[in-house]
Amino acid sequence: MPVTRQLETDVVVVGSGPGGATVARRLAAAGRRVVVLEKGRDDQWLGSYVGALRYVDRGGLLFTEEGLNLVRAITTGGCTIIYCGTATEPPPWLKERYGIDLEGHVRETIDELHLEPLPDEVCGAPALRLLEAANELGYHWTKLRKFIDPAKCKLTCGGACMLGCRHGAKWTARDYLADAVRQGAELVTRADVRRVLHSDGVATGVSAATPDGMLEVHAGTVIVAAGGLGTPIILQRSGIDEAGVGMFVDPLVMVAGVGRERGTWYGPPMSVGTYEMIDEGVLLSNLIDPWAMHVIMTGLAAPRRLPQTLRFRHAFGIMVKIGDERRGVISVDGRISKPLSERDRSRLNRGVAVAEEILQRAGCDPRTLVVGPVRGAHPGGTARIGEVVDHDLQTRIRNLYVCDASAIPEALDLPVVLTVIALGKRLADHLLARGPRQRAAA
Ligand SMILES: Cc1cc2nc3c(=O)[nH]c(=O)nc-3n(C[C@H](O)[C@H](O)[C@H](O)COP(=O)(O)OP(=O)(O)OC[C@H]3O[C@@H](n4cnc5c(N)ncnc54)[C@H](O)[C@@H]3O)c2cc1C
């Protein structure tokens, strides 16, 4: 396809999820000329199935070769449009094993965005019932820190947080992206970046397919932030063949049962839970799919239990998420393989046993307990620190950086966004300290 448009800038950022939006905002605020290229549209119809079908990749039907369902959003703001809004600090091993100290940037973000647990009346009685039941059994559940403004949150959304928040209660990377644009950054949507342009081992820009033809953006600094699945494909197309190997996805299952009281649909997801089993690689939290997804997932896991989905308003749910082994591979043509290991399965089983115990204590009928199919929502590790990028997130192509979950070197088994934001702020500070880069400075 011939090049129909060219742009010149200081920095080009690929992707507008939490990684891309954060770094773009900070660099634009410091006066750098920034262009952000985003593959998706700036979709506005949030919080509905019809809207989500447009921005959830393949309408939610993205599967690995082994049949594991992966969920990601292709839109401005990336996966934060559909995330649950739980904020968790990076694990200590990131500093201990890899020397990545994010403490200052994490603290800055917590203060800036007022990331706190929700008040009881916004968590909702069903979440508090699960917390109480878990603690009666001797576990240690607490309220979790959220990216949610309690003043705007409506409890009656029925889990639609994961279709996009229609009340503006949930912080998303679009908030940072809007700041970046206000500071002068140029946003180009529907720009599918194909490869990084480079010469003599130095990045000089990117080329992207757009509805109007090929766009080339020439820049002294290139930051690829297309997420755990998007980034490794761009890197491989650009000659970094070692990207895409060793992917984790933090596999998860939903465990649900029917009780007598109002169920988990009432109140935001993942507002309570426990990190006490993190050493075993297991995280538990309150969560139930929005109704239609709940029906589909119940049908896939236990078709005979489908009739009980009519009692959705009394259904309680717990998500079991685990830290998995890095066995996934994404190829340059987009094929994904992600086998689960014996250790992954035994971690899932361990979490499911605890979740079933808590659900029964909370009043669910044991005959209604259903364990949904295994899914993945946190792909990462596909451009790992120490292998594909260095300590400063730079690849072996100079002035080409990665800034998203693909740089995280091991499964977090934790919500990812606060870590990715902190990585973005750290990278921006590093680039600003290094001074301006002229285009194609070799
Ligand atoms: C249902 C769900 C619930 C979640 N809940 C939580 C939670 O509560 N807390 C938490 O911390 N995390 C949560 N996560 C995970 C979190 O949302 C992601 O880990 C995080 O958004 C990853 O950020 P990223 O910048 O790496 O990538 P993404 O958010 O995926 O952003 C990548 C961006 O790049 C764009 N892109 C891709 N390819 C290209 C290309 N070729 N050219 C141009 N642009 C491209 C995409 O459209 C996207 O906008 C959840 C995820 C899901 C799916």
Ligand 1 centroid to residue 73 C-alpha, Å: 6
* Pocket probe mutation, ligand 1, options 83, 248, 403, max atoms within 8 Å of Cβ: 83
CA-wise closest residue to 246 among 319, 320, 341? 341
Ligand 1 centroid to residue 153 C-alpha, Å: 22
- pLDDT per residue as tens digits for the range 377-433: 999 999 999 999 999 999 999 999 999 999 999 998 899 999 999 999 999 999 999
Q: For residues 323, 146, 118 and 349, what is the CA-based torsion angle, rounded to 10 degrees?
A: -10
DSSP tag of 266: S
The residues with which 141 forms a beta bridge, in sequence order, are none
Of the CA atoms within 13 Å of residue 28, those in its CB half-sphere come to 23
Supply the pLDDT for residue 441.
Answer: 41
Atom of ligand 1 nearest to the CA of 377: 53
Supply the pLDDT for residue 131.
Answer: 98
Supply the pLDDT for residue 403.
Answer: 98
What does each C-alpha distance from 7 to 187, 208, 312, 397, 398 come to in angstroms?
12, 11, 52, 21, 20
Cβ(35) – ligand 1 distance below 6 Å: no
* Residue 199 to residue 231: CA distance in whole angstroms: 20
CATH code given to domain 3-434: 3.50.50.60
Q: Whose CA is nearest to atom 6 of ligand 1?
A: 83
Supply the pLDDT for residue 437.
Answer: 61
Are residues 236 and 89 in contact, defined by beta-carbon separation less than 8 angstroms? no
Are residues 318 and 270 in contact, defined by beta-carbon separation less than 8 angstroms? no
Cβ(70) – ligand 1 distance below 6 Å: no
pLDDT along the chain (442 residues), means of 10: 90 98 98 98 90 91 95 97 97 96 98 98 97 98 98 86 93 98 98 98 98 97 98 98 97 97 95 95 96 93 95 97 97 97 97 98 97 95 98 98 98 94 98 73 38
Ligand 1 centroid to residue 18 C-alpha, Å: 7
Cβ(15) – ligand 1 distance below 6 Å: yes
* Pocket probe mutation, ligand 1, options 41, 42, 293, 417, max atoms within 8 Å of Cβ: 417
Supply the pLDDT for residue 434.
Answer: 86
Are residues 178 and 309 in contact, defined by beta-carbon separation less than 8 angstroms? no
Ligand 1 centroid to residue 52 C-alpha, Å: 14
Supply the pLDDT for residue 160.
Answer: 82
Domain ranges of the chain: 3-434
Per-residue DSSP letters for 333-361?
A: TS-EE-PPPHHHHHHHHHHHHHHHHHHHH
Cβ(270) – ligand 1 distance below 6 Å: yes
Cβ(293) – ligand 1 distance below 6 Å: no
Ligand 1 centroid to residue 88 C-alpha, Å: 15
pTM of the model: 0.97
Cβ(219) – ligand 1 distance below 6 Å: no
Ligand 1 centroid to residue 72 C-alpha, Å: 6
The structure tokens 């644009």 sit at 181
Cβ(37) – ligand 1 distance below 6 Å: yes
Q: Whose CA is nearest to atom 50 of ligand 1?
A: 83
Are residues 54 and 204 in contact, defined by beta-carbon separation less than 8 angstroms? no
Ligand 1 centroid to residue 19 C-alpha, Å: 9
Atom of ligand 1 nearest to the CA of 74: 47
Cβ(71) – ligand 1 distance below 6 Å: yes
Supply the pLDDT for residue 440.
Answer: 45
What does each C-alpha distance from 342 to 284, 348, 370 come to in angstroms?
20, 10, 22
Classify the phi-psi angles of 422: left when phi > 0, otherwise alpha if psi is within -120 to 50, otherwise beta.
alpha
Cβ(225) – ligand 1 distance below 6 Å: yes
Sign of CA dihedral 279, 247, 81, 370: negative
